[in-house]
Amino acid sequence: MRIEVDTAVIGGGVSGLCAAHYLAQSLGRDAVILLEASDCPGGTTRTSAEDGYLLDWGPNGFLNREPKTLQWAEDLGISNKLVTANDAAARRFILKGGRLMEIHPPPRFLATPLLSVLGRVRLCCEPLIRQKANDDPETIWDFAARRIGREAADMMVGPMVSGVFGGDAHQLSLAHCFPRMAAMEREYGSLFKALIAKKRENSAASPVGPSGVLTTFQEGIGFLPMHAASQLGDRVRTNASAVSIKHTNGGFKVQMKDGGEVAARCVVMAAPAFAAVGLLSGMDDALAAALDRIAYAGIAVVCTTYSREAVGHDMNGFGYLVPRNQGKRALGCLWTSSIFPHQAPKDKVLLRSMIGGFTDPDALRLSDSELLDIVAREVHPLLSVSGEPELVRIFRHDRGIPQYLRHHGECLDAVEAAEKRWPGLVFAGNAYRGVGLNDCVLSAHRAADALLK
Average pLDDT over residues 371-384: 98
47: helix, strand or coil: strand
Q: Is 91 exposed, middle or buried (0-12, 13-18, 19+ CB in 10 A)?
A: middle
Three-state secondary-structure class, residue 340: coil
pLDDT attached to residue 206: 54
Q: Provide the greatest CA pair distance for the chain.
A: 70
Question: Which of 282, 289, 273 is CA-nearest to residue 254?
Answer: 282
Say if residue 107's pLDDT is above 90. Answer: no
**Average pLDDT for 32-58:** 97
Angstrom CA distances, 370 to 167, 302, 374, stand at 22, 11, 7
Domain 106-207: homologous superfamily in CATH: protoporphyrinogen ix oxidase, domain 3 (1.10.3110.10)
pLDDT in tens, 390-421: 999 999 999 999 999 999 999 999 999 999 99
Which H or E run contains 214?
A: strand 214-217
Residues 289-308 have pLDDT tens digits of: 999 999 999 999 999 999 99
| 160 pLDDT more than 70 | yes
What pLDDT score does 193 carry?
A: 87
**Fold for the domain defined by 82-103+208-217+296-403:** Polyamine Oxidase; Chain A, domain 2 (3.90.660)
Nearest residue to 88 via CA among 316, 319, 340, 312: 316
Angle at 144 between CA 140 and CA 148, to 5 degrees: 175
Work out the percent of the chain whose per-residue pLDDT is above 70: 98
Picking from 270, 295, 334, 214, the residue whose alpha carbon sits closest to that of residue 35 is 270
Class of domain 2-43+221-294+404-452: alpha beta
pLDDT of residue 445: 98
Amino acid at 157: V
What's phi and psi for 168, nearest 5 deg? -110, 115
User: Where are the alpha helices (H) located in 172-324, listed in sequence order?
Assistant: 174-177, 179-188, 191-201, 223-232, 273-280, 285-292
Distance, CA of 45 to chain centre: 10
Contact 153, 161 (CB under 8 A): no
DSSP annotation of 239 = S
How high is the pLDDT of residue 156? 94
Domain ranges of the chain: 2-43+221-294+404-452, 82-103+208-217+296-403, 106-207
Chain segment 178-231, per-residue pLDDT in tens: 999 999 999 999 988 888 887 777 765 554 456 789 999 999 999 999 999 999
Instruction: Indicate if the pLDDT at residue 447 is higher than 70.
Output: yes
Structure confidence at residue 203 (pLDDT):
63
Predicted local distance difference test score (pLDDT) of residue 419: 98
